């Protein structure tokens, strides 16, 4: 019996994430095609897509999003013109989600703008830990479009289990927004989960406080977060854990956006090399999202 792939017939990837697109296509047992990109001297993009199909999955994470948003729009237009009737955008990292309200006069609600933009191009969406704050579901971003927001917890928990995580390990998240991720990692492993409180004064000025009575002393700690970029949140969280007597500290991030300079700081802070999921291509990638995403795509076929 053929596997249910939600009736999608091909995955389209882009050069920077071609390997992840191929892994997803392999999990779905359908072909994968990689878009050709050309950048003109003035910065404009040209997108070429081979092999027109009727129902396509377009795979691209939107880290460093501005050029990618335009190229996704062009790609969707090509597929529509070639006869595609259903386009599913798999964007493990979805950009512009944090600005979900006007915080100061004169600012846009970027989440609404980008949600409307992409909603005009694609019929369905799959994202991983899309950094939603006051917005409760991805359906509120892509109004009228079936959408799935996946947690990155299962790959982290699976990796910890496979590597023999100690029974006394404490899973820590730096703030309230990380609470669902902490619970979803710690729960299946039977571990203690703790959530800190973060005070952010600027992009690189962050302090994390942990409960002073947290049962951390002498125990190994695993810090988990949805996004690691400047690393300041993780560094502050690790220091707070060590003040409370934490033993070895490991770090997992769902999306790794940090530079080589930040990676060196992790080593200097004696945190080792963080491990991340492969939604955003990065040297720290150690956890595959392809099976998780494939299951979500196949669920569209049951509607």
Class of residue 65 by CB neighbours under 10 A (exposed 0-12, middle 13-18, buried 19+) = middle
Plot region of 144 (φ>0 → left; ψ -120 to 50 → alpha; else → beta)? left
Q: What is the DSSP string of 63-93?
A: SSHHHHHHHHHHHHHHHHHTT--EEEEE-SS
Q: Is 187 helix (H, G, I), strand (E, B) or coil?
A: helix
Angle, helices 179-189/153-162, rounded to nearest 10 degrees: 40
Closest CA to 170 of 225, 104, 239, 216: 216
Residue in 22, 60, 124, 198 annotated catalytic: 198
Which DSSP helix (H) or strand (E) runs through 149? strand 147-150
Active site residue 198: yes
Alpha carbons 125 and 131: distance in angstroms, whole number: 15
Catalytic residues: 198
């Amino acid at each position: 019996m053929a596997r249910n792939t939600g009736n999608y017939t091909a995955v389209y990837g882009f050069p920077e994430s071609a390997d992840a697109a191929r892994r997803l296509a392999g999990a779905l047992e359908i072909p994968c095609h990689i878009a050709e990109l050309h950048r003109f001297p003035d910065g404009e993009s040209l997108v070429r897509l081979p092999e027109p199909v009727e129902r396509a999955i377009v795979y691209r994470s939107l880290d460093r999003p501005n050029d990618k948003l335009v190229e996704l729009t062009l790609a969707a237009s090509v597929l529509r013109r070639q006869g595609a009737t259903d386009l599913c955008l798999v964007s493990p990292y979805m950009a512009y989600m944090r600005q979900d309200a006007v915080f100061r006069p004169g600012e846009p609600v970027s989440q609404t703008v980008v949600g409307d933009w992409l909603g005009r191009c694609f019929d369905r969406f799959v994202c991983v830990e899309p950094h939603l704050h006051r917005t409760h579901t991805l359906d509120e971003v892509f109004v009228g479009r079936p959408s799935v927001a996946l947690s990155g917890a299962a790959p982290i928990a699976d990796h910890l289990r496979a590597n023999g995580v100690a029974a006394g390990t404490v899973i820590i998240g730096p703030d309230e927004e990380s609470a669902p991720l902490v619970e979803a990692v710690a729960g299946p492993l039977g571990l203690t989960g703790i959530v800190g409180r973060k005070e952010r004064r600027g992009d690189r000025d962050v302090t994390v406080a942990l409960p002073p009575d947290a049962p951390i002393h002498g125990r190994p700690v695993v810090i988990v977060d949805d996004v690691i970029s400047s690393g300041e949140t993780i560094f502050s969280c690790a220091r707070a854990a060590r003040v409370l007597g934490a033993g070895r500290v490991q770090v997992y991030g769902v999306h790794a956006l940090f530079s080589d300079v930040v990676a060196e700081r992790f080593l200097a802070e004696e945190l080792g090399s963080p491990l991340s999921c492969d939604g955003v291509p990065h040297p720290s990638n150690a956890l595959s999202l392809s099976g998780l995403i494939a299951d979500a795509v196949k669920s569209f076929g049951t509607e």
